[in-house]
């Protein structure tokens, strides 16, 4: 996992052309005009999901992991906590869904990171993550999750 600000995104261009394209999209898009929804960047290789929600208490949440896609989770507006841990030998509480590309894990996160406006987190298939968590109380967040295909 990687945690940083969008101003440092150029440091991660070494991860490949899909990351370059994803970070260019984040830097060049006016998200204040985009509605919630899915936006194609490069077919099924790279796409963005724009979402708006109120942050939630972690007690009712579970960590997730993906196999087909890497997540770049970018905070457009607001702030949230994201719980995370390393995927080791944990047993999923919800088995992997090929069509939805996720599985859930009941373990509690080992770490929590606060993401503020213009911060991003990159979660690889070896990273468990529990996003959308409240800091002190529920608050409105607008976030873009860019999905980057691992193949």
Backbone angles phi, psi at 103, to 5 degrees: -140, 155
- pLDDT of 151: 84
Q: In order of start, what are the domains of the chain with their CATH numbers?
A: 2-29+37-149 (2.60.120.370)
Cβ atoms of 22 and 70 closer than 8 Å: no
Average pLDDT per block of 10 residues along the chain, 151 residues long: 97 97 98 95 97 97 98 98 96 97 97 97 98 97 98 84
Cβ atoms of 68 and 123 closer than 8 Å: no
- pLDDT of 51: 98
């Amino acid at each position: 996992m990687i945690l940083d600000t969008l101003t440092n995104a150029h440091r991660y261009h070494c991860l490949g052309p899909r990351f370059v394209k994803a970070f260019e999209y984040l830097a060049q898009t006016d998200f204040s005009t985009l509605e919630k929804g899915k936006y194609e960047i490069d077919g099924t290789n790279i796409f963005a999901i724009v979402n708006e929600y109120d942050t939630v208490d972690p007690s009712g949440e579970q960590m997730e992991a993906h196999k087909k896609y890497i997540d770049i989770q970018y905070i457009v507006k607001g702030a949230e906590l994201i719980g995370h841990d390393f995927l080791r030998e944990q047993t999923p509480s919800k088995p992997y869904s090929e069509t939805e590309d996720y599985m859930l894990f009941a373990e509690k996160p080992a770490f929590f990171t606060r993401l503020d406006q213009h911060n991003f987190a990159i979660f690889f298939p070896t990273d468990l993550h529990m996003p959308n968590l409240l800091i002190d109380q529920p608050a409105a967040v607008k976030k873009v999750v860019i999905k980057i295909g691992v193949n």
